[in-house]
Structure 1
Amino acid sequence: MAKRNNDILNLQDVLKDFVNENNLEKGLDKVQVRNAWAKLMGNGINNYTTAIELKNDTLYVQLSSSALREELSYGKQKIIELLNEEIGKEIVNKIVLR
Protein backbone atom coordinates (compact mmCIF):
# COMPACT_ATOMS: atom_id res chain seq x y z
CA MET A 1 0.00 0.00 0.00
CA ALA A 2 1.31 3.44 -0.92
CA LYS A 3 2.24 5.82 1.84
CA ARG A 4 -0.08 8.78 2.14
CA ASN A 5 1.48 12.23 2.23
CA ASN A 6 -0.63 14.56 4.37
CA ASP A 7 1.33 17.72 3.53
CA ILE A 8 -0.44 20.44 1.61
CA LEU A 9 1.03 20.48 -1.89
CA ASN A 10 0.67 22.73 -4.89
CA LEU A 11 -1.39 21.06 -7.65
CA GLN A 12 1.11 22.15 -10.30
CA ASP A 13 3.96 20.43 -8.44
CA VAL A 14 1.91 17.27 -7.95
CA LEU A 15 1.08 17.10 -11.68
CA LYS A 16 4.73 17.66 -12.65
CA ASP A 17 5.79 14.84 -10.33
CA PHE A 18 3.09 12.56 -11.78
CA VAL A 19 4.21 13.29 -15.36
CA ASN A 20 7.87 12.68 -14.50
CA GLU A 21 7.24 9.47 -12.53
CA ASN A 22 5.10 7.96 -15.29
CA ASN A 23 7.31 9.09 -18.23
CA LEU A 24 4.50 11.06 -19.87
CA GLU A 25 6.60 14.05 -20.90
CA LYS A 26 7.27 12.88 -24.47
CA GLY A 27 3.57 12.34 -25.10
CA LEU A 28 2.73 15.77 -23.72
CA ASP A 29 5.44 17.31 -25.90
CA LYS A 30 3.80 15.78 -28.99
CA VAL A 31 0.44 17.26 -28.04
CA GLN A 32 1.99 20.66 -27.31
CA VAL A 33 3.75 20.71 -30.70
CA ARG A 34 0.51 19.89 -32.54
CA ASN A 35 -1.35 22.63 -30.67
CA ALA A 36 1.44 25.15 -31.25
CA TRP A 37 1.50 24.32 -34.99
CA ALA A 38 -2.26 24.83 -35.26
CA LYS A 39 -2.12 28.10 -33.33
CA LEU A 40 0.88 29.60 -35.14
CA MET A 41 0.05 28.51 -38.69
CA GLY A 42 -3.62 29.45 -38.64
CA ASN A 43 -6.50 27.98 -40.62
CA GLY A 44 -4.96 28.60 -44.04
CA ILE A 45 -2.02 26.26 -43.49
CA ASN A 46 -3.88 23.89 -41.15
CA ASN A 47 -6.34 23.09 -43.94
CA TYR A 48 -3.43 21.69 -45.99
CA THR A 49 -1.73 19.92 -43.06
CA THR A 50 -2.59 16.22 -43.11
CA ALA A 51 -0.26 14.86 -40.41
CA ILE A 52 2.12 16.14 -37.73
CA GLU A 53 4.51 13.80 -35.95
CA LEU A 54 7.31 14.51 -33.49
CA LYS A 55 10.13 11.95 -33.37
CA ASN A 56 13.01 12.75 -31.05
CA ASP A 57 13.73 16.40 -31.89
CA THR A 58 12.47 16.32 -35.50
CA LEU A 59 9.00 17.48 -36.51
CA TYR A 60 7.55 15.73 -39.56
CA VAL A 61 4.77 17.71 -41.24
CA GLN A 62 2.81 16.22 -44.10
CA LEU A 63 1.17 18.76 -46.40
CA SER A 64 -1.30 18.19 -49.21
CA SER A 65 -0.05 21.18 -51.23
CA SER A 66 3.36 21.04 -52.89
CA ALA A 67 3.35 24.81 -53.43
CA LEU A 68 2.76 25.41 -49.72
CA ARG A 69 5.46 22.88 -48.83
CA GLU A 70 7.95 24.77 -51.02
CA GLU A 71 6.93 28.12 -49.52
CA LEU A 72 7.27 26.86 -45.94
CA SER A 73 10.67 25.31 -46.68
CA TYR A 74 12.15 28.81 -47.01
CA GLY A 75 11.23 29.67 -43.41
CA LYS A 76 12.00 26.44 -41.55
CA GLN A 77 14.33 28.04 -39.02
CA LYS A 78 11.83 30.78 -38.20
CA ILE A 79 9.07 28.17 -37.76
CA ILE A 80 11.31 26.18 -35.39
CA GLU A 81 11.99 29.29 -33.32
CA LEU A 82 8.30 30.21 -33.16
CA LEU A 83 7.24 26.69 -32.16
CA ASN A 84 9.84 26.43 -29.40
CA GLU A 85 8.94 29.89 -28.14
CA GLU A 86 5.23 29.01 -28.07
CA ILE A 87 5.90 25.77 -26.18
CA GLY A 88 8.36 27.36 -23.80
CA LYS A 89 11.23 24.91 -24.25
CA GLU A 90 13.54 23.53 -26.93
CA ILE A 91 11.64 20.55 -28.37
CA VAL A 92 11.98 20.96 -32.14
CA ASN A 93 15.44 21.22 -33.73
CA LYS A 94 14.55 20.19 -37.28
CA ILE A 95 11.47 20.23 -39.52
CA VAL A 96 10.88 17.82 -42.39
CA LEU A 97 8.11 18.86 -44.76
CA ARG A 98 6.56 16.03 -46.78
Structure 2
Amino acid sequence: MAKRHTEYRNIADALKEFVETNKLDKGLDAVNVQDAWSQMMGNGVNNYTTDIQLKGSVLYVQLSSSVLREELSYGSQKIITMLNDSLGKELIKKLVLR
Protein backbone atom coordinates (compact mmCIF):
# COMPACT_ATOMS: atom_id res chain seq x y z
CA MET A 1 0.00 0.00 0.00
CA ALA A 2 1.23 3.50 -0.78
CA LYS A 3 2.51 5.85 1.89
CA ARG A 4 0.14 8.57 2.94
CA HIS A 5 1.57 11.96 3.71
CA THR A 6 -0.49 14.06 6.09
CA GLU A 7 1.35 17.33 5.51
CA TYR A 8 0.75 19.52 2.48
CA ARG A 9 3.27 19.11 -0.31
CA ASN A 10 4.26 20.96 -3.41
CA ILE A 11 2.92 19.21 -6.53
CA ALA A 12 6.37 19.31 -8.16
CA ASP A 13 7.90 17.51 -5.17
CA ALA A 14 5.10 14.93 -5.17
CA LEU A 15 5.57 14.22 -8.88
CA LYS A 16 9.34 14.00 -8.49
CA GLU A 17 8.94 11.47 -5.68
CA PHE A 18 6.42 9.49 -7.75
CA VAL A 19 8.83 9.32 -10.70
CA GLU A 20 11.72 8.23 -8.48
CA THR A 21 9.66 5.67 -6.57
CA ASN A 22 8.34 4.02 -9.72
CA LYS A 23 11.68 4.29 -11.59
CA LEU A 24 10.23 6.22 -14.53
CA ASP A 25 13.34 8.37 -15.12
CA LYS A 26 14.59 6.48 -18.18
CA GLY A 27 11.23 6.58 -19.94
CA LEU A 28 10.77 10.27 -19.26
CA ASP A 29 14.30 10.98 -20.44
CA ALA A 30 13.59 9.18 -23.74
CA VAL A 31 10.44 11.24 -24.29
CA ASN A 32 12.21 14.47 -23.33
CA VAL A 33 15.05 13.73 -25.77
CA GLN A 34 12.57 13.23 -28.62
CA ASP A 35 10.87 16.53 -27.79
CA ALA A 36 14.21 18.34 -27.52
CA TRP A 37 15.34 16.94 -30.90
CA SER A 38 12.18 18.12 -32.66
CA GLN A 39 12.41 21.59 -31.08
CA MET A 40 16.12 22.08 -31.68
CA MET A 41 16.29 20.72 -35.24
CA GLY A 42 13.17 22.29 -36.69
CA ASN A 43 10.92 21.15 -39.52
CA GLY A 44 13.68 20.72 -42.10
CA VAL A 45 15.44 17.96 -40.17
CA ASN A 46 12.28 16.55 -38.57
CA ASN A 47 10.84 15.77 -42.01
CA TYR A 48 13.74 13.36 -42.60
CA THR A 49 13.88 11.93 -39.06
CA THR A 50 12.20 8.53 -38.91
CA ASP A 51 13.19 7.26 -35.44
CA ILE A 52 14.86 8.52 -32.27
CA GLN A 53 15.98 6.15 -29.50
CA LEU A 54 17.94 6.78 -26.32
CA LYS A 55 19.82 3.72 -25.09
CA GLY A 56 21.92 4.47 -22.04
CA SER A 57 23.85 7.61 -22.90
CA VAL A 58 23.81 7.01 -26.68
CA LEU A 59 21.23 8.73 -28.88
CA TYR A 60 20.37 6.84 -32.07
CA VAL A 61 18.71 8.92 -34.78
CA GLN A 62 17.38 7.29 -37.95
CA LEU A 63 17.38 9.63 -40.95
CA SER A 64 15.92 8.99 -44.40
CA SER A 65 18.41 11.30 -46.15
CA SER A 66 22.05 10.27 -46.47
CA VAL A 67 23.03 13.83 -47.40
CA LEU A 68 21.46 15.22 -44.23
CA ARG A 69 23.08 12.45 -42.17
CA GLU A 70 26.50 13.45 -43.52
CA GLU A 71 25.87 17.16 -42.85
CA LEU A 72 24.71 16.52 -39.27
CA SER A 73 27.67 14.24 -38.57
CA TYR A 74 30.03 17.21 -38.96
CA GLY A 75 28.33 19.03 -36.08
CA SER A 76 27.46 16.06 -33.89
CA GLN A 77 29.33 17.36 -30.83
CA LYS A 78 27.52 20.70 -31.08
CA ILE A 79 24.18 18.87 -31.40
CA ILE A 80 24.98 16.83 -28.27
CA THR A 81 25.84 19.99 -26.34
CA MET A 82 22.66 21.76 -27.48
CA LEU A 83 20.45 18.80 -26.58
CA ASN A 84 22.05 18.38 -23.15
CA ASP A 85 21.62 22.11 -22.48
CA SER A 86 17.98 21.88 -23.52
CA LEU A 87 17.43 18.87 -21.23
CA GLY A 88 19.17 20.54 -18.31
CA LYS A 89 21.49 17.59 -17.62
CA GLU A 90 24.25 15.69 -19.37
CA LEU A 91 22.22 12.78 -20.63
CA ILE A 92 23.71 12.22 -24.10
CA LYS A 93 27.38 11.37 -24.52
CA LYS A 94 27.34 9.99 -28.07
CA LEU A 95 25.19 10.60 -31.15
CA VAL A 96 24.79 7.85 -33.76
CA LEU A 97 23.19 8.90 -37.03
CA ARG A 98 21.82 6.04 -39.11
- TM-score range normalised by the length of the shorter chain: over 0.9
Alignment partner, residue 83 of structure 1: 83
Q: Structure 1, residues 50-90: CA drift from partner, whole Å, max 9, x if none?
A: 00000000000000000000000000000000000001001
Runs of 4+ in 1 over 6 A off after TM superposition: none
Over the aligned positions, Cα root-mean-square deviation in angstroms equals 0.9
Give the 3-state SS of the residue equivalent to 1:16 in structure 2: helix
Alignment partner, residue 43 of structure 1: 43
Unaligned runs of 5+ in 1: none
Unaligned runs of 5+ in 2: none
CA distance in 2, matches of 1:7, 1:92: 37
What letter is aligned with 1:91?
A: L
CA distance in 2, matches of 1:90, 1:37: 15
Superposition TM-score, scaled by structure 1 size? 0.97
User: Number of residues paired by the alignment?
Assistant: 98
Give the 3-state SS of the residue equivalent to 1:29 in structure 2: helix
What letter is aligned with 1:40?
A: M
Superposition TM-score, scaled by structure 2 size? 0.97
**Displacement, 1:6?**
1.2
Between the two proteins, what is the percent identity of the paired residues?
62
Alignment partner, residue 34 of structure 2: 34
